[in-house]
Amino acid sequence: MKKIAAFFDIDGTIYREGLITEVFKKIIKYELVNENKWYNDVRPSYLKWDKRQGDYDTYLLKMVDVYTEAIKGLDKFHIDYIARKVIEQKGDRVYTFSRERIKWHKEQGHIVIAISGSPSELVSEMSKKYNMDDFKGTIYKLNEGNTYTGDVIPMWDSESKLSAIKEFEAKYNIDLSKSYAYGDTSGDITMFKSVGIPYAINPTKELLGKVMEDKEIREKIKVIVERKDVTYSLNVDCIDLI
């Protein structure tokens, strides 16, 4: 018998911001890299996004570039430790809707899987915290000495997420037509297209634009916006992008 799965992005979908940023800040705190890496290379993009003068994807890609360079030559032990501390301290900073959906899926006996662009070390810790069944995150490659090489296998783009969905479909004998996907950015569009019941959680303007252009997704998508202590369910046909 085929199984039902729920695929969750993490950054901006479960967690309210970006986990990779929290890791980077701790790397600086523990003096593994110079703090100028943040102030000179990342902070300008972050401030533009924070002031709504720039988009999230630009900030995220800049963060990934700097993070990749920053951890090059570091031992995996350090990042594993930092990942655990980040989830211990920040892992409850999640959207209420997403947390309750994970709980609901577990109660239904569904397979709950994280597919995230965050570093695999972080995704692993987050999936443990929320009792998920499996995960895939961005892999930062290691050499034989267990230090980071600077090479990356991404999981933030739509092609990589589609490949992950197909892999999990075969691994767990999943019926995608009855399965769920939750995401917030354009990288999640192939997850939405693959499953029968997609949810856009606080979606970016770029993602909403792609949803509206795709009749197949538009007819089945559920759009959720959570602000303060209120969760709104929006009719995509009534949304006017400005």
Report residue 86: phi and psi, to 5°. -60, -45
d(CA 234, CA 224): 6
Tokens linked to 159:
């092609």
CATH topology of domain 5-238: Rossmann fold (3.40.50)
CA end-to-end distance (rounded Å), the chain: 45
- Res 53: pLDDT: 66
Taking only the tens place, the pLDDT of each residue in 139-179 is 999 999 999 999 999 999 999 999 999 999 999 999 999 99
- Res 140: pLDDT: 95
Taking only the tens place, the pLDDT of each residue in 88-137 is 999 999 999 999 999 999 999 999 999 999 999 999 999 999 999 999 99
- Residue 53, number of CB atoms within 10 A of its CB: 8
- Res 95: pLDDT: 96
80 burial class (0-12, 13-18, 19+ CB within 10 angstroms)? middle
Where in the chain are the domains?
5-238
Q: pLDDT category, 5, cuts 50, 70, 90?
A: very high
Instruction: Find the angle CA(44)-CA(36)-CA(23) to the nearest 5 degrees.
Output: 80
Say what the pTM is: 0.91
d(CA 131, CA 67): 27
Tokens linked to 119:
């570093």
Report residue 158: phi and psi, to 5°. -65, -35
